[in-house]
């Protein structure tokens, strides 16, 4: 019996280390995190009595809120943690609409731009061990990179001014049936030098190219593929066993399908789906809660390092919204700050909102596109009362995206 258990453990270990299908070259100086999920789940947080009449009332109101969304086509997973304690977890809709397969706690969603919080986390781990500096230039890692004066800090805070790869690759990437990689993006920039959008550090401009390059920097410094780094140093140590990096040629059975329109048209995978760092992570609400709790605990990324990520970096415009190092933020009238990062890619919508002053988090993963997913002010009103917390709503959705996804319903070819 003992021998069988050891064999199973060894196989599971090999699976975790080799799932990404790369050959890791190992770390030069990086010390892998020595953590188990228990190491960050026991941090000090307020105890919430789920039998408290006020909590029961909140749960009832949340049920009504999401049931109303279901009537309008909502499909997704929801986990809401109030002051550190999960009080609401529900699964609505379909993993596979055509097959009638319902969502479960194990169904995984493309979290889209919320992946940027993990790419930021990877850089912060390297920063924590003094293997990189926020002031390091891109040329330190890629000497032939033609755009000068851009630092890691500018990439993390979207202040690089670099061209957006989702735009320039439309012309430069000829065979749209072949999936592009991060290195392909880098080489196209070196060879073709597409025109930058503005000079470095001039102003904030959200741009996926920044996080594609950050993923490449992680590879360069660690000496291993980005996928392996994420699994071995973030997902596995934090017990995120249902979280994985997307590979268009090897998709896990747990993956949901993304849909758009009233007829639930399945969204197609395209050539840019091979690029990681700006997107590409699949996860569950339970695993996202583990990520959330690990950040609150301060035992994975040190508070002084994480504090830099939660510090505003752009001041060209006045207002209560800003962007730190891989995180959005919105200041509240009481002096507290919402730290969040929503996401959109294909027909997936992600909400990852965190009221860090008392460890309340709203996590929504959806696979049926709707702009209304981001409109969660009513959720905060249910949790705290009206006008106590104010949240941003549509950072990840543009009118162009909305127009494209609301086109006439076309069923996928059989």
**Is the pLDDT at 402 greater than 90, yes or no?**
no
pLDDT tens, position by position, 52-66:
999 999 999 999 999
> In terms of Cα–Cα distance, which of 118, 359, 132 is closest to 246?
118
pLDDT band at 391 (very low <50, low <70, confident <90, very high): confident
Confirm if 207 and 158 have CB atoms less than 8 A apart: yes
Q: What angle do CA 400, 402, 405 make, to 5 degrees?
A: 110
Instruction: Give the span between the Cα atoms of 53 and 345, in whole angstroms.
Output: 39
Q: What is the chain's mean pLDDT, rounded? A: 88
Instruction: State the pLDDT at residue 37.
Output: 58
Query: For the chain, how far is it from start to end, CA to CA, in angstroms?
Result: 48
pLDDT tens, position by position, 314-368:
999 889 999 999 999 999 988 889 999 999 999 999 999 999 999 999 999 999 9
Instruction: State the pLDDT at residue 370.
Output: 94
pLDDT tens, position by position, 92-114:
999 999 999 999 999 999 999 99
pLDDT tens, position by position, 1-33:
444 444 444 434 444 443 565 444 444 566 766
Instruction: State the pLDDT at residue 46.
Output: 78
pLDDT > 70: what percent of the chain?
A: 84
pLDDT tens, position by position, 282-296:
999 999 999 999 998
Assign 33 to helix, strand or coil: coil
pLDDT tens, position by position, 126-148:
999 999 999 999 999 999 999 99
Please name the residues in contact with 30: beta carbons below 8 A apart, sequence gap of 6 or more: 125, 126, 129, 131, 221, 222, 233
Against a cut of 0.95, is the pTM above it?
no
Q: Which two tokens stand for residue 112?
A: 């889209």
Please name the residues in contact with 220: beta carbons below 8 A apart, sequence gap of 6 or more: 141, 142
Domains of the chain with CATH codes? 36-115+225-405 (3.40.710.10)
> In terms of Cα–Cα distance, which of 345, 337, 351 is closest to 389?
337
């Amino acid at each position: 019996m003992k021998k069988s258990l050891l064999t199973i453990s060894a196989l599971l270990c090999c699976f975790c280390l080799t799932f990404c299908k790369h050959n890791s070259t190992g770390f030069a100086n990086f010390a892998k995190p020595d953590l188990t999920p228990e190491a960050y789940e026991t941090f000090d947080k307020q105890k919430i009595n789920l039998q408290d009449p006020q909590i029961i009332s909140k749960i009832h109101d949340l049920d009504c809120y999401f049931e109303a969304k279901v009537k309008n086509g909502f499909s997704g997973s929801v986990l809401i943690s109030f002051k550190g304690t999960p009080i609401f977890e529900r699964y609505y809709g379909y993993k596979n609409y055509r097959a009638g397969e319902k969502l479960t706690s194990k169904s995984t969603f493309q979290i889209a731009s919320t992946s940027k919080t993990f790419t930021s986390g990877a850089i912060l781990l390297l920063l924590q061990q003094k293997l990189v500096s926020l002031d390091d230039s891109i040329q330190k890692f890629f000497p032939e990179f033609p755009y000068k004066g851009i630092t890691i800090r500018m990439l993390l805070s979207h202040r690089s001014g670099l061209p957006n790869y989702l735009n320039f690759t439309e012309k430069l990437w000829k065979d749209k049936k072949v999936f592009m990689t991060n290195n392909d993006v880098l080489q196209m920039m070196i060879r073709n030098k597409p025109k930058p959008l503005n000079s470095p550090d001039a102003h904030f401009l959200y741009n996926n190219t920044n996080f594609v390059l950050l993923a490449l920097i992680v590879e360069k410094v660690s000496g291993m593929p980005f996928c392996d780094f994420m699994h071995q140093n973030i997902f596995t140590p934090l017990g995120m066993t249902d979280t994985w990096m997307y590979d268009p040629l090897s998709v896990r059975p747990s993956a949901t399908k993304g849909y758009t329109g009233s007829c639930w048209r399945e969204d197609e995978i395209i050539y840019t789906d091979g690029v990681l760092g700006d997107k590409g992570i699949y996860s569950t609400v339970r695993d996202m809660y583990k990520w959330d709790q690990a950040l609150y605990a301060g035992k994975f990324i040190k508070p002084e390092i994480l504090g830099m990520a939660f510090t505003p970096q752009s001041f060209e415009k006045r207002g209560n919204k800003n962007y730190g190092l891989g995180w959005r933020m919105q200041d509240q009238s009481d002096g507290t700050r919402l730290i969040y990062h929503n996401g959109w890619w294909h027909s997936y919508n992600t909400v990852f909102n965190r009221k860090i002053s008392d460890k309340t988090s709203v996590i929504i993963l959806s696979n049926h596109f709707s702009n209304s997913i981001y409109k969660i002010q009513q959720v905060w009103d249910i949790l705290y009362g009206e006008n106590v917390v104010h949240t941003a709503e549509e950072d990840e959705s543009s009118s162009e995206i909305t127009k494209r996804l609301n086109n006439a319903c076309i069923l996928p070819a059989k």
